[in-house]
Amino acid sequence: MKKLYDLSHVFDENTYHPMGFPAFKNVQMFPSHGCRHALVTMSLHFATHMDAPWHMVEDGKRLDQIDIRELCGEAVVLDVSEKYAPEKATLKGVSVADLEAAAKAAGLDIRAGDAVIVYTGWEKWYETNPSRYYDSYCTLSHEAAQWLAEKKIRLVGLDVPDIDLPASYVKAPFEPRNHRAILGAGIYVIENVGGEIRRLLGKRIDLLPAPMKVGGEYASGAPVRLLAMDL
């Protein structure tokens, strides 16, 4: 039987997000109701989550318009942490040359239709240093985003909170160029990849993303249970 890996971060009421901590409220408890039921208020772009094109493209697909079979398939996991981990760099864009070098070092080809997971090493600060994780992360350079789009991949995942750097969101209207390039090409984005990702560095895997099927005008993104299997 193939081994299954969970690449999702856990979240609870203590999980930091720049728009605020999630607010949980118990509405049914075991002593009084014989069951447990809670309500939660949080950003849909929280913890390990997927961006639909609708997030940053005016007429892009919403989550409920995406067939989940479009998301599943082979993926390569590229490790660029030697240059972009928190101890090495901050607020820096991963270059095309470094993606190519990571693929070459692992003996991986990036094929049309692949998902590409970029591991920077920042995921380890998701829980331990969340303010710096959100303020100082490294992510794709714009050239790298365009390069991946030209390769006609189906999905990009990163172990950081955003595919664009924080400077893209200083003043509205925002100019997140990487989101525009990737989502505008019909390629999906998963941010805050974590969990067991370090066990899969430099590998080709089967990726199985399962985002919540949010519908309507709010369906720009949603938390995702991100699973992977050995090929």
Share of the chain above pLDDT 70, in %: 100
Answer yes or no: is pLDDT of 136 > 90.
yes
Give the tens place of pLDDT for each residue, 91-125: 999 999 999 999 999 999 999 999 999 999 999 99
Three-state secondary structure string covering the chain:
CCCEEECCCCCCCCCCCCCCCCEEEEEECHHHHCCCEEEEECCCCCCCEEECHHHCCCCCCCHHHCCHHHCCEEEEEEECHHHHCCCCCCCCEECHHHHHHHHHHHCCCCCCCCEEEEECCHHHHHHHCHHHHHHHCCEECHHHHHHHHHCCCCEEEECCCCCCCHHHHCCCCCCCHHHHHHHCCCCEEEECCCCCHHHHCCCEEEEEEEECCCCHHHCCEEEEEEEEEEC
Give the tens place of pLDDT for each residue, 193-231: 999 999 999 999 999 999 999 999 999 999 999 999 999
Distance, in Å, from the CA atom of 141 to the CA atom of 225, rounded to the nearest integer, reads 26
Region 135-149: mean pLDDT is 98
CB-CB contact of 49 with 164 (8 Å): no
Give residue limits of the domains in the chain. Answer: 4-12+43-230
Give the model's pLDDT for residue 61: 95
Closest alpha carbon to 77 in 51, 102, 52, 95: 102
- Report the topology of domain 4-12+43-230: Glucose Oxidase; domain 1 (3.50.30)
Give the tens place of pLDDT for each residue, 12-47: 999 999 989 999 999 999 999 999 999 999 999 999
